[in-house]
Amino acid sequence: MLNRSCLMMFSMFMMTQFSPFKALECMVGEYEVDGHCCSTCLPGYRVHETCSIMTGTICVPCNAGTYTAHQSGLKECLKCKVCDPELGLVTRRECSSTTNTVCGCSPGYFCADTIDDGCEMCVPN
Task: Name the pTM for this structure.
Answer: 0.74
Beta carbons of 80 and 65 less than 8 angstroms apart: yes
**pLDDT tens-digit profile of 9-40?**
444 444 445 545 556 789 999 999 888 999 99
Architecture of the domain made up of 80-124:
Ribbon (2.10)
- For CATH 2.10.50.10, the residue range(s) in the chain are 24-78, 80-124
CA–CA gap between residue 114 and residue 103 (Å, rounded): 9
CATH code of domain 24-78: 2.10.50.10
Render pLDDT for 61-110 as a digit per residue (tens, 0 to 9).
999 999 999 999 999 999 999 999 999 999 999 999 999 999 999 999 99
Amino acid in position 118: G
65-104 core/surface letters (b: 16 or more CB in 10 A; e: else)? ebbbeebbbbeebeebbebeeeebbeeeeebebeebbbbb
